Structure 1
């Protein structure tokens, strides 16, 4: 595993941890470059149903490691190359059919916030701080991440984030829709574990199919197509549908087997 990242799997849940607590989990170019490969591994592994992103210590991530910028972003061409690694990481997370959950403590700023927005869900501890700060660095945010932010919190709040570079607390982040849930720090881990267990208990055929349809909607598609029709048809002919209906009629919890 790349320095600064830890990857583990336990009980159908994979966890990718930013592991530079002494640097507030600032993300190096090597870490950015490795994320897409980790996501691909999660997608391939039939034993994994959910991916959790989190940070070691007291922070999720304070963003990209700016100490590298003097060397790795010293020209417009070098900066464009660096940005390709960020964009690949964001694209991989956003395109993962399996659910992704960002578990956030402390600082979730810049590139850290960018990655959390690319996840399907965001659970945070009270006292966490959020911001996206390209305007403090003379950077223009990329299209995909800007669209994801606008889709999540709306254009007015996205403009506030991107144009001011100001930070907000967890209460405000929940209020504007950036977060799904906020918990006391001591309860955060258990709350995320309970939610991931719920996701693991649901039909994975349904989850992955619906995640693909949502991805298409967010990309601007306005109607069904052959791929969506096939996803829905495959679900109707699948084992999960038969089990779901049988369980409902028998008034018992379903036991889904599709991976």
Structure 2
């Protein structure tokens, strides 16, 4: 594993750090591939209950895909398809990661960087951060799956405005239109993100991971419980978390979910 992506662990919270500050954490094709591998490993790690994504410092969350690679890796329809398939596979793994996820944005999230953030469950941003998707500046069409996520977050009109103009908006405007969940001053945003994360991991992973799967089914167009979702819900009633939760309630104490 290269140092451009690395994991920091804090109990049940894993933080995936983008460590390419000299290029504002732009993602090379190799980094997208590595991202998918890391997510697969973290999915299997039962000690991890929540994942945070962030840049290595205050320079940037991510400025997106490394455009300097495009002439080599994305300069024909055939090469573009191979590039797009690989990158979208990793982004999809993040979007469907079975545990809660938070994007911690400092200063900048543009293009593929904002695409990664939009694939997380929550987005925290430092005040004044700049956000945008600038595909129209280089003449490419933004992919459907990520466009759908953007539309789900901010609606079709605002999504068109953001994409047509390729403009950058502030974190504050992003919060107003539903793109960003929480905005804090730079010196407070990471602390507030961790407070929020710890609230989540103090609860039942059986419940939270299941809730994420149920909401994902709704986003995927389901209007009724599938057999899989019905079984998921029923299985929760025989889980250790359910036993502990009921016992804690009866004993008037906080549950200790493991």
TM range (shorter): over 0.9
SS at match of 1:96: coil
Aligned to 2:243: 242
Please report how far the alpha carbon of residue 3 of structure 1 lies from its aligned counterpart in structure 2 after TM superposition: 4.9
Give TM-score, length-normalised by structure 2. 0.96
Please report how far the alpha carbon of residue 247 of structure 1 lies from its aligned counterpart in structure 2 after TM superposition: 1.9
User: After the TM superposition, which residues 1-259 of structure 1 pair with which residues of structure 2 at under 5 Å, given as runs?
Assistant: 1-57=1-57, 58-257=59-258
SS at match of 1:63: coil
More deviation, 69-78/245-254: 245-254
* 4+ residue runs over 6 A deviation: none
- What is the CA–CA distance in structure 1 between the aligned matches of 2:27 and 2:44, rounded to whole Å? 25
- What is the CA–CA distance in structure 2 between the aligned matches of 1:246 and 1:158, rounded to whole Å? 47
More deviation, 12-21/244-253: 244-253
- What is the CA–CA distance in structure 1 between the aligned matches of 2:220 and 2:2, rounded to whole Å? 31
- What is the CA–CA distance in structure 2 between the aligned matches of 1:216 and 1:132, rounded to whole Å? 27
Structure 2 regions of 5+ residues with no counterpart?
A: none
Please report how far the alpha carbon of residue 249 of structure 1 lies from its aligned counterpart in structure 2 after TM superposition: 3.0
Give TM-score, length-normalised by structure 1. 0.96
Q: Considering only aligned residues, what root-mean-square deviation do their CA atoms show, in Å?
A: 1.2
- What is the CA–CA distance in structure 1 between the aligned matches of 2:208 and 2:167, rounded to whole Å? 35
Structure 1 regions of 5+ residues with no counterpart?
A: none
Contact 1:14 1:52 (C-alpha < 8 Å) held by counterparts: yes
- What is the CA–CA distance in structure 2 between the aligned matches of 1:222 and 1:138, rounded to whole Å? 37
- What is the CA–CA distance in structure 1 between the aligned matches of 2:42 and 2:131, rounded to whole Å? 27
